[in-house]
Amino acid sequence: MTQSLTIARPDDWHLHLRDGAMMQAVLPETARHFARGIIMPNLVPPVVTGDQAAAYRERILAALPEGMQFDPLMVLYLTENTDPEDVAAAHASGLVKAVKLYPAGATTNSASGVQNFDNVRPVLEKMAEIGLPLCVHGEVTDAEIDIFDREAVFIDRVLDPIRQATPGLKVVMEHITTSNGVDYVKANDKDLGATITTHHLIINRNHILVGGIKPHYYCLPVAKREEHRLALRAAATSGDARYFLGTDSAPHTDPLKENSCGCAGCFTATNTMSLLAHVFEEENALQNLEGFASKNGPAFYGLPVNSDTLTLTKSSTATQFPEKIESQDGPVTVFDPGFPVFWTAT
């Protein structure tokens, strides 16, 4: 028996497109289902000025296949040398929709991130003044802090002090992975939202480590205990408008994932919407999928909901997703949930 659900076309509020040949390969995988995406600025070198963001946007649009429509929403990479006036001008022009905070060394290409948060206070104050959201990679990087505790410590040590010191600053806690993150959002209903990835709704840390190391499940923030995965599923499917989709789809070639120091990231652009339909159905919450994927993010960012639609269809035959996406840089493995999925997105 066929079942279908039509929703407003979704957006991806946390997306890695990379650049060059890799971008050429992965951009169509996102544009097929998503109307807009918050584009991560952690290139090498990072996108730190309005001019660099404008140039990157033009490269993205030039790589978009003919007949596809996609609106890249640009983000500036916050450094201790970021100019508040450049940020304000880029925002006023309509180009830049957010600024990204990476603690130095927290994830892929984050070496230019912030070490001394006092040095970025003028930028944060300007952002609060003009209503420009701050997207945060919420982990501390101290060597003595266990990797599974770094999100919880970041909330207490960094995020809450920043928000207390900068009233009116809109903050997106990106890719939350813990019940601590869920609870912090629940306790703060003003100027705070959180994105949740597809893969963190599906895997816990056992999936990475049990029965051998699974490099294509390794991501940052790393997947946590099962209790945290269940908390994320409850939040995402709850209908609470403070939670919305940010896939953190992060392509790396197989040789970069499958080596002695493999890169962090799960590539989910290809099958995210089908996987979300599966998860929301399991949670008896299909009626809340449109809010999570299509409405809550635009509401937080002050943008209209897309007028186009996406239809999700369930059939009795498992959907076959490609195992890999080929790029001129090498193959990229598509996230495998480890179970059959019967939903397709068109």
Instruction: Report, as residue numbers or ranges, the catalytic residues.
Output: 248
Report the candidate in 148, 152, 39, 150 with the shortest Cα–Cα distance to residue 105. Answer: 150
Q: Which residue's entry shows tokens 């599923």?
A: 233
Q: Kindly tell me the sign of the dihedral angle through the C-alpha atoms of 264, 323, 18, 242.
A: negative
The DSSP secondary-structure symbol of 286 reads G
- Rounded Cα distance between 251 and 227, Å, is 27
Give the DSSP H/E element, type plus range, for residue 151. helix 150-154
Report the candidate in 111, 100, 90 with the shortest Cα–Cα distance to residue 40. Answer: 100
With left for phi above 0 and alpha for psi between -120 and 50, is residue 175 left, alpha or beta?
left
- Rounded Cα distance between 267 and 281, Å, is 22
Contact (CB, 8 A) for 75 and 96: yes
Q: How many helices (DSSP H) and strands (DSSP E) are in the chain? A: 13, 13
